[in-house]
Structure 1
Amino acid sequence: MDYIQIENAYINNLKNISIEIPKNKFIVITGISGSGKSSLAFDLIFEEDRKKYLQSIGMALDFGTDYYTNITGLSPTVAVKQNLIRQSNPRSTVGSKTGLLNKFSLLFANEGSYQDSESFSLANDDINPDIFSYLSPNGMCFDCAGTGKQFHIHMENIISSKTVTVEQVFQQIGSTKGYLNLLQRKYTAYFHEPFSNCPIEIQNELIYGVVDNYSGKTSYCVERVLHNRYLRNEDVQRFYSQEICESCNGYRICDEARMMKIANLHLGEIASMSLIKVKEFLDNYIEMNKLSAFGTELSRSLITTLNSLIHIKLGHLTMYREIPTLSGGELQRIFLYDHLESKLDSLIYVFDEPTSGLHESEKQEIIESLQSIKAHGNTVLIVSHDKKIIKAADHIIDVGTNAGDLGGEIVYQGSYSEFLNNHHSLTSKFLDYDMTKSFKKNKQETKDTLSISNANRNNLKNISIEIPINRLVGIAGVSGSGKSTLISKTLVPLCKEQLKNSDFSNPNIKGMDKIQKIIEISQAPIGRKANSNPVTYIGLWDKIRELFAKQPQAVKEGLKAGDFSFNSNGACLSCKGSGVEDISIGYDIQFSKTCPECNGTRFNSKTLQVLYKQKNINDVLEMSVDEAISFLESSTIDLSVLNILKKIGMDYVKLGQPTSTLSGGEAQRIKLAKEIGKTRKKDTLYVLDEPSAGLSQYDISKLLYLLNELVTSGNSVIVIEHDLDILKCCDWIIELGEGSGDKGGEVIAQGTPIDLSENNVSITGRYL
C-alpha cells in the first residue's frame, strides 16, 4: 500500500477528518499549538498501529472505542516523543543507553593495565568487564551506589544557635503542621528542648530516621523532609545539597576499576569527558600502536559510534550524562541514533520536534539523518513548527485552522511552495511574518546592569558579562556552549542567595540592588502524572470544588470539597479516579481504555449529580480556558490567571487536560501565567529556558506580547533561546561559543540583534 488512508477520525479535537498520507516520504505535520497535530500523529496513527499489530499476532485484547471509521496502509510504527521516551532513572546515562560504556568496559578489560603508586604497570589477567560498570555490584562504588553523588545535610545552617529547639528545626526546613503534631507526640520529652541538648541517638534519629523492618520505609526525619522537597525542585540548597562522592570522586566505579588505566586514564575519567574529546583520545591512542588487533578493532567501532553521535549534535555530552537531565531535543536525538543504527525498512517513524534545542547552524545534520531513515525505505512523519524542517518536507499536512475546538481540521496538504500561498493557514501566514513590526519597545531608558564576573562552572572560562536591566535579553549559542550553565546554574543561584540573605557583598555579582525578586521558568514538566492538570497547578481547583460543595444538592447530601476530587472521596470506585482501565502486556507496554463505570469522567454518580449552572464538576474540567472564564465570571473566584492564559493564546487548553500532554513551551507559559497572576511587582527578573519549545510562530507572537508587557511594566527578562524570531525582538543578545563543551564557554559576541548580524565572529548573527 502506497498510502495511509484514514476515514472519519474524531479522536480528541479531530473533526471527522479523512486523509490520505503518502508513504516512503519525509512528511511534516504542522499547525499552531493545540490544533490537533499530535492527535493525528501519535494518538491516532501510532496508537492504532500498536493495537492493530498486537491484534494481528493473536492478542485478543479489548482496546475500547475506535475513534475512526477505517484506517488502512499502516506499517509497524515507532514513536519518538518526549513524554513517551522520557526516563526518570538517574542511573540511565548516555553511555549506558548508547552501549558505549559496555564497549569501553570490554576495552579496559582487554587493554588496560594496573598501576601502583610508583606507576609500575601490571598485566591484567582475565579481568571481568563487570568491574568497570557502575551498574554492576562488582564495579560500582558502594558509598554512592554508583551514582557518583551523595546528599549532604547542612545542619550548621539549620541550627544557627544552641537554643534552637527540635520544633524550630522542623519548622525551619518546611515541615507541615500535621507532621509537627506527629513529631510532638513521638518525641514529647524533647520537642520543645534545644536540639543540641538531645541525646546523640535521638539527634541521629531526628536527622536520619529509623528504617522500619517490615515496610522498609524510613521514619519522618530531617533528611526525608529535605529529600522530598529536593525532588519537588524546591529551593533547599542552603540546607541540603547533592555533592560529589568523596570515595570515588564522582567517577561512580570501584577502586579496582579506577586503578586500571589506558594511556594514564581510567574509565571514569574518560566517561566524564565530552564525546568529542573521547573520540580525539581514541584517535590518538590508535596512532600509538599499543593496542592488540582486538583492541584496535573495538576502538574503531567505538569511534564509529562516537562519530554518529557527534554528527547529530550530541558531541558536547559525556558518557556519564544522566538521561533525565537531557533536553527534549537531546533525548530524541539519542533515540534517533538508535534507529539510524538499526537500518530497518518499511517502518513508519513519528518524531516530535526533533530539532528542539538546536541552534540554527546545527539543524541541517539532523534533517539529513532523518532523510537517511526515509532513504532506507521508511515513512518519516515529523510533528514540527521548525521553518527549516517544514521547508525540507516532501509533503506538508497543516492542521487547524486554530486551536482546541476551533482546530482539528486539515487546512492544507501538499508541497512547500504551494503552502506559502495558502491564505487559510495561520502557520503559513506566520512563516515569513516579521515579529519586530508588531513588537513595541516603549520602554524607559536605563543604563543599569546586572553583572557577573569570573564565572567558571563546567565549561565556562572565567567569563564576565553585563546584562542590561529592564530589557529583554537573549542568551544564544550552539548546543553545549554554556548558556544554561551561565544563567540557570551560576547567575540564578547567586542572585537567589543574595536576595535570601540580603547580602550584596559578593564581588562576583553586582546590580542586585535593582532586583527584588527572581522567577525562573524552566522546561521541567508541571506534572507527569495522569491526575495532574492545569487547573490544579494554577491553584483554582480547590476554589472550584468549594464552589460545588456550596450547592444545595451538595449540602443536602452532606458532600464536602473533598467529595469533588477524583483523587479523594469523589472518585469512581471502579477506576479509582483514573477514568480508564489499564491494559498491560509487559515490557512497560501499556494501553488504556475508557472506564465503563464512569465513562471516563473519573467521578462517582453522587458527585456528578451536583450541578452549578447546569454543569457538573467533570463538565468544568472539560472546559477550555475561554469557556471557563465565561462560566465562572459571576462567581467569587479570582480568574486573573485564566485571563492571562487567554491573553497569551492559551485559551484552547482544557482545565483538566493532563499536564503530561503539554509541550515544554505550553508548560512554561502556564508557569509564567501563574507567577504573573500573583501580586504584580516591578523589578522582578524573569528567566526562561527556551520558551519557544513546541510553539508555532503564531504562538511565539503571543509569547512575545507577554514578554514585552513584562519589560514595559518595569521588569527584566532573560531568555535562553535559539528561535530567531524571539532573538530578533531582544534588546540585547549575549552569544556564547564558539563550539560546545570544551570548545565553548566564552562570550564570542554581544549587542543588539543588528550588532550581531554585522559581527563576523557571531554564528547566530549569520541567521539574524
Structure 2
Amino acid sequence: MDSFLRITGARTNNLRDVSLDVPKKLMTVFTGVSGSGKSSLVLDTIAAEAQRLVNDSYSTFIRSRLPQMPAPDVQAMDGLTFTVLIDQRRFTGNARSTVATATDLASLVRLVFSRIGSPSAGYSPAYSFNDPSGMCPTCEGLGTVYDIDLDALIDQEKSIDEGPVRFSLFRPGVYRWKRFAYAGLFDRQKPLKDYTAEEMDLFLYADQLKLIDPDPRFPQSARFDGVVTRMRAVFLKQRPVKMSAQVREELDRLVTHHTCPDCQGARVNAAARASLIDGHSIVDWMRMPVAELRALLDDLADPRVAPAIDGIRHVLDALLSVGLGYLTLGRESSTLSGGEAQRVKIVRHLGSALTDVTYVFDEPSTGLHPADIQRLVALLQRLRDAGNTILVVEHHPQVIAVADHVVDLGPGAGSAGGLVQFEGSPAALRRSDTLTGRLLAEPLRPAETGREPRDRVTVRDARSHNLQGFDVDVPVGVLTAITGVAGSGKSSFATVELPRQHPEFTVVGQDPLRGGIRSTTLSILRIADTVREVFSAASGLDPSWFSFNGKGACPTCRGRGHITTELAFLDDVSLPCDACGGLRFNDTALEVRVGGSSIADVLASTPEAVSELLSDHPDVVAALDWVQRTGLGYIPVGRSLDTLSGGEKQRLLLARHLSDPHRDPADRIILDEPTSGLHPNDVETINHLFDDLLDDGATLVVVEHNMRVVARADHVIDIGPGAGSDGGRLMFAGTPAALAADRDSLTGRALASSSVRAG
C-alpha cells in the first residue's frame, strides 16, 4: 500500500464509483475527452482530500480559524502525501507583484545591487519599488501616474441634488453623496458651474477638513474630503481588487494614466537608477528578457555576491527551461496568462528540499509550442526523480508519451464519462482500442494542397510588439494557421497587426470575459432573458425571480451559490451555501417547474438537454447548437464564467459570434489558440466546425500550437525563430506539407515528427 495512492469508490461530480491504484514516485498522466472526469478525480478528489487532511492535522485552535473543507465523495483513500496543486489560475497580484517577486528573484537582485552596485544606493530596500526608501516618490513605485479625468467625472451643469458626479458610487442618496450633500459647505440647488473658485476647490480637493456647521445627518466624528481627494484615496492608491463589472468599467472611463514623468516607468528613485553593475542598473536587469539577462550574468563574477548570483542563474535557467525566456522580471504577474502563471509556479518548486510530495499539474502544456514541451517534460521528470509523485491532467501526446503510467477516463463527457477506460504504459495505451489510444496512434497527414483562396490581403511592415517589420499575404476564404514558439509574436501579428491594418477581421481572443461568477453560458449567449421569460409565463412571476442576480437570489449567499472566506495573503476558500445547497436560488424561484424542471435544474443541464426542453424557442436552440458545435456540449449552461478555462471562454465567445442572426457567413474571424485544453477527439470536432464555416464562405486565421489543426490548415505562417527579441521574423509561409519539410523551422520539425508517429 505504501507504493500507491489508493482510491476506492470515487463519486465526485461525474465519477462513477472509480477505484484505482496510482503508483507513487512516478509520473502518472490522466487523460480523456474534455469533461470525462479527469479533473474530478485528480483535482477535486485526490488533491482536495490531501489538503483537507493537512488542515485536520493542525491543532484545534488553528483548525477553528481555517475554512472547513468538505470531504470529497469517495468511499476510501489511502497513501496520500503532502500535495501541492499547480493549476492554471492567473496570479491575482496587483501592480506591485512582478515576475521577479513571484519567483523570489527580487530579493536576490536587490541584494546583489546593494553589495556591488556603484554608487551604492544603500541596503536592499533602497532598490525596491515596494519600499519607501527605494520607490519613486512621484508614482510611489507603480511606474504609472493615475489621476481623475475631471471633465469625464463632473457635470458642471448639475447641482448636488441633481447628481453632478458621473460615478454610480456618488449618485444621489448613497453614502458618498451624503458626505458632500450634508457637509454644510455648499448650496445643494446651485449648479456647479456657478460655484466660486473657493467652493469648487473645496468640493473637489478638500482634505480631512474639520466642519464647523454640518447638517445633523453628517457623521459627527468624520472629516470632509473632496470628491477627487476621496476617489484618489479609495480607488487610485488602493485600487480595490474586488469590484463589480459596472464599477470597473466606470473607473476605466474616469481614470487617466500615463508613464511617470520622473522615473519614466522605472518605478525606483534616482539613487537606485544611478547605481550600476558593469554599466547596467537594476532597471536594466528588470527590463531585459530572461534569456538576455541570463547571458549577461555569464560574465559577472564577483566573490562578494557569488552565492546570490548562483541563485539568480538557477531560477533564470528554470524559466528558460519552461519556455519563458521572453518574459522580463519587471512584468506584472497579473498580466501573465494561465499557462505562463502555471510555469512560473513550477519554477518556484524546483530545488525544494521536500521529498515524497505529490505534485498535481492541470494541463501544464497549455500555450506551449511542441519545442517548449520537451523542456517542460524535463522539469516534471526532475521533480519526479527527486522522490516525488507527479500527477498530470493532460491531453498533449508529448507529455503522455513520457509518462510512467497513464490513466484514461471516459468514454464520453459529463454523464457519459466518469469511468476508467485504461491503465498502463503509454505504449500500451496506443495499442488499446480506447478513443485516446486510437487517436494517439494515428499519424497526422499534413495537407499538400489546400482550398483555393478567393483573394489575399497584405500585412505590411508588421512591427507590433516584437515583430521585426515583415510583409506577408493572408489568403481569404481559407484556414490560415499562425505558428511559432511561445512569445515569438504570433498573437501580436494575428490579434494586433492584422486587424489594425484590415479592420474587417474580427478577433475572438482569450481576454477575460466581464461578469465572472455572475455570468453564465446563457448570459454570454444573450438567451438568459428568454429562459427567464419562459419560467415567468409558467408562474405569473416577474422574470427577475428566475435570476440569481435579482429577486430569485438565495438570501444567504446572495445568488453566489457559495460562501467565500478571505484568507488575506492566501487564496480565498469557497464552500457551498448551506441554505440553497449551491443552487443559488431562493425557495420561491425553485418551486416553479417547466417541463418538470426548476430554473436550477435548467442551469445544471447540458446545452442539448436545454434545447430539448425549450425546443419551441428557436433563438435558444440555435445558440446552444453552436455551443455544441464548438465542443462545449459537456458544460452545464449555468456554469459560472470564472470556472471556465481560457480556451473554453474563447470557444464560448465564438459560439456567441456565430449565433448572431445578423452575422455575415463570409465574415473573417481570428482565433487565438481555440484548442487549449482539448482532447484530440475534441480537436477533431473543432476541425469539422472550421470546415463547415469555410464551406459557408468564412475566412479563418487561427493562432495554434496544436499540430492537428496545423496539419489540416490550407496555409501556414510561421513566426520565429525564438521568443521575445529572438522572434518576430517571418520564417515560413506556405502549405503544411512544405512546412513539415522545412528543417529550419521548429514548427516544421514538430509537424514532421507528428506525421510519422508510429501506431
Give TM-score scaled by structure 1 length: 0.83
Contact 1:210 1:218 in 2 (8 A): no
1:448 to 442, 456, 459: 456
Amino acid at match of 1:67: D
1:2 maps to what in 2?
3
SS of equivalent residue, structure 2 residue 620 = coil
The correspondence for 1:72, drawn from 57, 74, 78, is 78
SS of alignment partner, residue 390 of structure 1? helix
Per the TM alignment, residue 19 of structure 1 is displaced from its structure 2 partner at its CA by 1.5
Q: Report the alpha carbon displacement of residue 337 of structure 1 after superposing the two structures with TM.
A: 0.9
- 1:677 aligns with 659
1:152 to 1:468, Cα distance in 2 relative to 1, 3 A: farther
Deviates more, 1:26-35 or 1:748-757: 748-757
Which range moved further: 310-319 or 376-385? 310-319
Helix, strand or coil at the partner of 1:623: coil
Distance 1:337 1:454 in 2: 37
Q: Is the 8 A contact 2:479 2:713 kept in 1?
A: yes
Report if aligned partners of 1:139, 1:257 keep a CA contact under 8 Å in 2.
yes
- Which residue is 1:94 aligned to? 99
Residue 117 of structure 2 is matched in structure 1 by: 112
Flag the 1:698–1:440 CA change in 2: closer, same or farther, 3 A. Answer: farther
Alignment match of 1:356 (pick from 337, 348, 366): 366
2:536 is aligned, of 537, 545, 549, to: 549
The within-5 A match list for 1:168-317 is 210-211=227-228, 217=234, 243-286=258-301, 291=302, 293-317=303-327
Distance in 1 (alpha carbons) for counterparts of 2:173 and 2:448: 54
1:727 has 2:710 as partner: yes
Give the 3 Å change call, closer, same or farther, for CA 285–421 of structure 1 in structure 2: closer
Check the 8 A contact 1:626/1:652 in 2, yes or no.
no
Is residue 426 from structure 1 mapped to residue 408 from structure 2 by the alignment? no
- 1:166: how far off? 9.7
Instruction: Check conservation: 1:7, 1:68, Cα contact below 8 A.
Output: yes
Equivalent residue, structure 1, for 2:131: 136
With over 3 angstroms needed to count, the CA separation of the structure-2 counterparts of 1:189 and 1:594, relative to structure 1, is same
Q: Contact conserved, 2:665 with 2:698, CA < 8 A, in 1?
A: yes
Name 2:739's counterpart in structure 1.
756
Identical columns (%): 30
Per-residue CA deviation, residues 382-410 of structure 1 (Å, 9 max, x unaligned), is: 00000011111111101110111111111
CA shift for structure 1 position 12: 0.9
Q: Matches of 1:611 and 1:298 in 2, distance apart?
A: 66
Distance 1:392 1:166, change over 3 A: farther
Given that 2:447 and 2:736 are in contact with CA atoms closer than 8 Å, whether structure 1 keeps it comes out as no
Q: Contact 2:356–2:387 (CA<8 Å) still a contact in 1?
A: yes
Of residues 449, 456, 467, the one that matches 1:460 is 467
Residue 546 of structure 2 is matched in structure 1 by 564
Distance in 2 (CA, whole Å) between partners of 1:354 and 1:478 is 15
In 1: Cα distance, 2:467 partner to 2:618 partner: 51
Partners of 1:523 and 1:626 in 2: CA distance = 25
- Tell me the residue number matched to 2:695: 712
Unaligned runs of 5+ in 2: 160-165, 182-187, 194-198, 206-225, 237-242, 752-759
Q: Residues 757, 151 of structure 1: CA spacing in aligned structure 2 closer, same or farther, 3 A cutoff?
A: farther
Q: 1:656 aligns with which of 635, 638, 642?
A: 638
Helix, strand or coil for the counterpart of 1:575? coil
Q: Structure 1 CA distance, aligned partners of 2:690 and 2:536?
A: 38
Mapped partners of 1:751, 1:439: distance in 2: 10
Distance in 2 of aligned mates of 1:663 and 1:755: 33
Q: CA deviation at 1:281?
A: 1.7
Superimposed CA distance per residue, residues 110-155 of structure 1 (whole angstroms, 9 cap, x where no aligned partner): 11123xxxxxxxxx37x12212111222222243332323458999
Q: Classify 1:528/1:382 alpha carbon distance in 2 versus 1 (closer, same or farther; 3 Å).
A: farther
Mapped to 2, the partners of 1:138 and 1:91 lie a distance apart of: 15
1:745-768: CA deviation from partner (whole Å, max 9, x where unpaired)? 211222111221222322211122
Distance 1:716-1:764 versus aligned 2 partners, 3 A rule: same
Choose which of 599, 607, 611 in structure 2 pairs with 1:617: 599
8 A Cα contact 1:525 1:660, kept in partner: no
CA distance in 2, matches of 1:603, 1:439: 55
**2:147·2:232 contact (CA, 8 Å) conserved in 1?**
no
After superposition, the C-alpha distances for 1:244-267 in whole angstroms (9 at most, x for unaligned) are: 333211212112211222222221
Distance in 1 between residues matched to 2:202 and 2:288, nearest whole Å: 44
Q: Cα distance 1:758–1:464, how it changes in 2: closer, same or farther (>3 A)?
A: same
In the alignment, what sits opposite 1:103?
A: 108
Please state whether the residue corresponding to 2:461 is helix, strand or coil.
strand
Instruction: Give the alignment partner of residue 82 of structure 1, picking from 66, 85, 88.
Output: 88
Show structure 1 runs of 5+ residues with no match: 115-123, 168-173, 194-198, 220-225, 495-508
Task: State how far apart, in whole Å, the 1-side matches of 2:55 and 2:699 are.
Answer: 53
- Please say if 1:667 is aligned against 2:673: no
| CA shift for structure 1 position 683 | 4.5
Counterpart of 2:215 in structure 1 is: none
Q: Report the AA paired with residue 80 of structure 1.
A: I
Inter-partner Cα distance in structure 1 for 2:498 and 2:203: 36
Deviations 1:702-754 (A, max 9, x none): 11222232333222222111111111111111111112222212112221112
Output the CA distance in 2 between the equivalents of 1:41 and 1:15.
14
* Equivalent-residue separation in structure 1 for 2:283 and 2:487 (angstroms): 21
Is the partner of 2:97 in helix, strand or coil?
coil
TM-score by length of 2: 0.84
Distance 2:680 2:464 in 1: 34
Count of residue pairs brought into register by the alignment: 704
Whether the 8 Å contact between 2:446 and 2:711 is mirrored in structure 1 is: no
Alpha-carbon RMSD: 3.9
Residue 23 of structure 1 is matched in structure 2 by 24
Deviation per residue, 1:292-349 (Å, 9 max, x gap): x213443233223222221222211110112122222221111111111214211111
**Is 2:509 the counterpart of 1:522?**
yes
Change (3 A) 1:100 1:230: farther
8 Å CA contact 1:439–1:705 kept in 2: the answer is no
Give the distance between the partners of 1:29 and 1:135, measured in 2 at CA: 41
Q: CA shift at 1:461, angstroms?
A: 1.8
In the TM superposition, residue 229 of structure 1 has moved relative to its aligned partner by: 7.8
Q: Secondary structure at the match of 2:299?
A: helix
Task: Confirm or deny: 8 A CA contact 2:447 2:737 kept in the other structure.
Answer: no
- Structure 1 Cα separation of the partners of residues 721 and 470 of structure 2: 14
1:54 is matched with: 55
Q: Which deviates more from structure 2 when the two are superposed, residues 26-35 or residues 471-480?
A: 471-480
The one-letter code of the counterpart of 1:650 is L
